[in-house]
A and B are shown apart, each in its own frame.
Chain A
Amino acid sequence: AQKITQTQPGMFVQEKEAVTLDCTYDTSDPSYGLFWYKQPSSGEMIFLIYQGSYDQQNATEGRYSLNFQKARKSANLVISASQLGDSAMYFCAMREGHSGGSNYKLTFGKGTLLTVNP
């Protein structure tokens, strides 16, 4: 079974509008972390936002917010006021286990390609 599912291979949004990128996860570990990364066409992996499983509030970073619904095991990324530079591949990822420790790899979803139209 996939641990991270991103059901939207591609999404389109108009400039200045908000967009939600979906991510659901599967884990039986009570302690985990959820990450979103952006990969523009230049190829680098850019960290956007992090949500810990015990965090009471949804994470926010500038125009990025994470809609964390623990019971549904979803961690959707919301981008407000989209810009042309937001066009990129977006990856949801999960780390299972405590924040300490050395064997906590990131498991990635297959990504969503976001295109922002002018």
Chain B
Amino acid sequence: DTAVSQTPKYLVTQMGNDKSIKCEQNLGHDTMYWYKQDSKKFLKIMFSYNNKELIINETVPNRFSPKSPDKAHLNLHINSLELGDSAVYFCASSQNTGGGYTFGSGTRLTVV
């Protein structure tokens, strides 16, 4: 049973389109995150949500809009996709009381 699952695993789309990536965790964690891994493999935080509340928003263009319908889900919607949005997007979750961060398997987004 996958702990943090993301869909889709691969996403190829044209510039200007709108797309969503879904994330669900079954670990009972309180906090969920979106990270972006660029072509040089650098991982950077984008957003974090705690119990459906936005906690971290790291200077991400407002074309990116996270949505958390409940604490087990954190989706990422991207409007007007640009070539520079091509990357691997990772969802992750953690417990407020400490412990590790569990990552999903990533979504490879390619904008053409």
Contacts and interface: CB of A to CB of B under 8 A. Distances in A.
Given A44-B103, A89-B41, A108-B42, A100 B97 contact: yes
A103 B105 contact: no
A25 interface: no
Contact of A110 (B30, B33, B42, B58): B42
Contacts, number: 61
Contacts of B42: 108, 110-111
Interface residues of B, number: 30
B110 to A, nearest CB: 14
Given A110-B42, A111-B41, A102 B31 contact: yes
Contacts of A106: 33, 45, 92, 101
Interface of B: 30-31, 33, 40-45, 48, 50-51, 55-56, 58, 88, 90, 92, 94, 96-103, 105-106, 108
Given A39-B41, A43-B88, A108-B43, 9 more contacts: A44-B105, A47-B103, A50-B100, A89-B41, A93-B43, A99-B99, A101-B96, A102-B51, A105-B58
